[in-house]
Amino acid sequence: MTTREELLERASAMVPALQAGALDTEKRRQPLPENIAALQAAHLIRAAQPERYGGLGLDFDVVFEVAAELGRGCGSTAWCYSIWASHNWLLALFPEAAQDEYWADTPDTLSSTSFNPARSQATAAPGGYRLSGHWDFSSGSDAAAWALLIANGPEGLLMLLLPRPDYTILDTWFVSGLKGTGSKDIVVDDAFVPEHRAVPVKDLREATAPGRKLHDTPNQRIPQQCILPFTLASPIIGMARGAVETFEERLRHGASARESSPLSGVASYHLRLGEAAAEVWAAQAILRQDCQEIMARARRDEQPSIDDRARYRRDQAYVARLSVRAVDRLFEASGGHGLFDANAMQRFHRDAHAAAHHVGIAWDVMAEQYGRIRAGLEPDLRIV
């Protein structure tokens, strides 16, 4: 049995290699093959995957702790890791036949996703659906053998699973941050999706998806929206941790260009470091507290209230907000040298801001929704 602590040790051991390859990852615009191989060899992607399919069967929240560790080295790789590992949690919610297909060749299967159904349509067909559409922001798509896509179905939103031959990847990923995630577009032209590879989104949101009966562990009893957005927030914690470490290194060994005096004696830098470190610690503490509560509820087979769901969504966005604040605070004091490609600080700054732009952790949306519910107004069930 692999423990949570062992996984985190493996993730920590990967950080120096991720740091060394971060610039190459950006230039390649997708995770380096050797980093993907290392993630798979360490079984990090299998963390919350069912044991029946070669996974470790650990509580889903370990994925977020691993992502926060990997983010210290390379934000893009940590982002893709978090996405890939979380998708394997989602796959365990599909019907058994879909899971058998997905993991038929290897327990290290990778999939990408896109959850924006605006340009999609799934129509009923004998034995399943015909799917066409165009999706964007499919992180880690180049290395993936499958895609999970949300589409407008005959009776509401559906999450559909497609193998690589059934869709085309468009290379649209020319961006300012998270350059190494390869978050490209997916195009589907009238593909057939059998019924067993489709799950109503409402079943995922209410923890009633078919995979619950197959595995029935706490991981399958969690409403999707309560926990999945931590997939997006946790790598940003890692980027902020990396920024803190980079700034500390500069303080210990850097000198003022104007006076050739050690930076370690600059009081304003001490203040910035102290506040940034506290923000990162607080972000990590919020994530852990919420996840412990979510997993405890799942073990009791207890569904969270609307108030609880709104709080989790608020916290997912706030974790990202705190982490970005910490990075900004340190980047502002990093001087001209912090702008060079070889300096990790500028990459953490760009990557953290890019990650925080994801609609799933948009602060204004989540904070407003929490306030509405606490004011006694009706919630937007698409969010909570």
Domain extents for the chain? 4-107, 111-200, 224-374
Structure confidence at residue 257 (pLDDT): 55
Question: If you ran DSSP here, which 8-state letter would residue 180 be given?
Answer: G
- Nearest-5° Cα angle at 58, 45 to 44: 20
The yes-or-no verdict on residue 236 having pLDDT over 90 is yes
At 355, which amino acid appears? A
CA distance 262 to 256: 6
Q: Which fold has domain 4-107?
A: Butyryl-Coa Dehydrogenase, subunit A; domain 1 (1.10.540)
Structure confidence at residue 341 (pLDDT): 87
CATH superfamily of this structure's domain 224-374: Butyryl-CoA Dehydrogenase, subunit A, domain 3 (1.20.140.10)
Q: CB of 47 within 8 A of CB of 85?
A: yes
Give Cα 325 distance to the centre of its chain: 19
Structure confidence at residue 261 (pLDDT): 67
Label residue 256 by pLDDT band (50, 70, 90).
low
Strand partners, 159: 150, 199
More confident residue, 144 or 216: 144
CA distance 374 to 352: 30
Is the pTM higher than 0.75? The answer reads yes
CA distance 76 to 90: 21
Query: Spelled out in words, what is the top-level CATH class assigned to the domain 111-200?
Result: mainly beta
Structure confidence at residue 336 (pLDDT): 86
Query: Would strands 120-125 and 198-200 be described as parallel, antiparallel, or unpaired?
Result: unpaired
The alpha carbon dihedral of 68, 70, 76, 80 has a sign of negative
Query: Would strands 146-153 and 111-114 be described as parallel, antiparallel, or unpaired?
Result: parallel
Helix (H) or strand (E) holding 20: helix 4-28
Structure confidence at residue 319 (pLDDT): 98
* Mean of pLDDT values over 165-177: 97
The yes-or-no verdict on residue 384 having pLDDT over 90 is no
Structure confidence at residue 258 (pLDDT): 58
